[in-house]
Chain A
Amino acid sequence: MDFLEHNALYVVGIISAVIWFGLFLFMFGVERRVRKLEREP
């Protein structure tokens, strides 16, 4: 607990970065699915 309180900035930063990176991964997955569908005739 003390560790979390002391490094709150890093913790919040990492959590937000992970959330945004998750959004990126989701969009990347959609992108790949769209590409596959586009290749279909």
Chain B
Amino acid sequence: MRLFRSNIFLWCLGIVLAVQVYLSFEIPVAGSFGDAAMLSMSGVQDVTPVKATLVSVDSGFARFSDLYGDSGRVYVTDRSYGTYKSSRPGDVLVMSVAYDRSAKGFDLVEIIRENPAITFPMIQGLGELGRNMLFHVPMSMVAFLAFLLGTIYSVLYLVKKNHDYDRRARASSAGGFLFTALATVTGSIWARFSWGTFWNWDPRETSIFILLLIYAAYFMLRSLLEESEDKKARIAAVYNIIAFVSVPFLMFVVPRITNSLHPGGGGTEAPLLNLSGKTHTAPSLGIMFEISTLLFFIVFLWMKDLVTRILRIHDKRAEAL
């Protein structure tokens, strides 16, 4: 592709990518006072980040407009009383608070951010782990697109018999394999902190494992064949197309109808990829998710382009010998 020959474009991509990755961690996750009370009462965590608008600071406590019942007061402790002094009524504060069950109020632990431009929502049961939605989900989406692209190139090869399509198919499938592996690793880390273990053969984990096996078999087939280049390319293209038939089943169908802990399993609606085509998450996270997907996809396209060109040089040298 032409675009990747431009150094300016590549540097922009690199810098935007780094900024996006940094922001994915830097933007604070904040819920409501209701979240904080619920998490504390259910024993999940005592201290929760909360986002609310400051109404007034009296001698005893501060009032916020995001009220939880009639007990939506943040008690100002001696230690942190001074921190409110810089904030004026009307300021939006992100602060970590602890629920005080006996007083039915909240103790301020610390102020995290004043008037933040953007915050991530507190997702039920995820908290800070929700940030992984900006890595794990885009990676698996890019992986699917890569396999789709690889299959399209395989079909094009069989139709046009141009070896360049074969190289592109190989490069796309390799990129898809890499992104599937990355999605597996990030998913496994997520599972460790959400479900308790790195790997427990949840239907979703089983299907991604089989997906990796399919493409491992594809590359193995390719390396085991000792035929002419034409024949090799034809056999590999046919296998690639057959293999892709089971990819949608593994990625979308089987984990959706079986009982899975993964969102979207067992008939529940997944928050980002679902049949109704809606995104069930706050717009801030949704936009960051879309930017992430786009950036990872461009990175994949660049990788595909690089591998294709390396293969082209390789084949050219083999021909010259």
Contact mask B11-27 → A, CB, 8 Å, 1/0? 00110011101111110
CB distance from A37 to the nearest CB of B (A): 5
The interface size bin for chain B is 20 to 34
Give Cα A18 to B28, complex, Å: 20
Q: Which B residues between 268 and 321 are near A, CB-CB below 8 angstroms?
A: 299, 302-303, 306, 309-310, 313
- CB pair B21–A16 under 8 Å, yes or no, is yes
- CB <8 Å contact, B19 and A34: no
Inter-chain pairs besides A20-B17, A21-B17, A27-B306, 4 sampled, C-beta below 8 Å: A9-B26, A16-B22, A24-B13, A34-B310
Residues of B at the A interface (CB closer than 8 Å) are 4-5, 10, 13-14, 17-19, 21-26, 28, 299, 302-303, 306, 309-310, 313
Contact B26 A31 (CB under 8 A): no
A28-B10 in contact (CB<8A):
yes
Closest to B14 in A: A24
Count of interface residues, chain A, beta-carbon cutoff 8 Å: 20
Residue interface bits A10-36, CB-to-B below 8 A is 1, else 0:
101110111011001101101100110
Q: Give CA–CA (A38, B311) in the complex, Å.
A: 11
Distance in angstroms between the alpha carbons of A27 and B11 in the assembled complex: 11
A38 touches B14 (CB 8 A): no
Contact A24 B28 (CB under 8 A): no
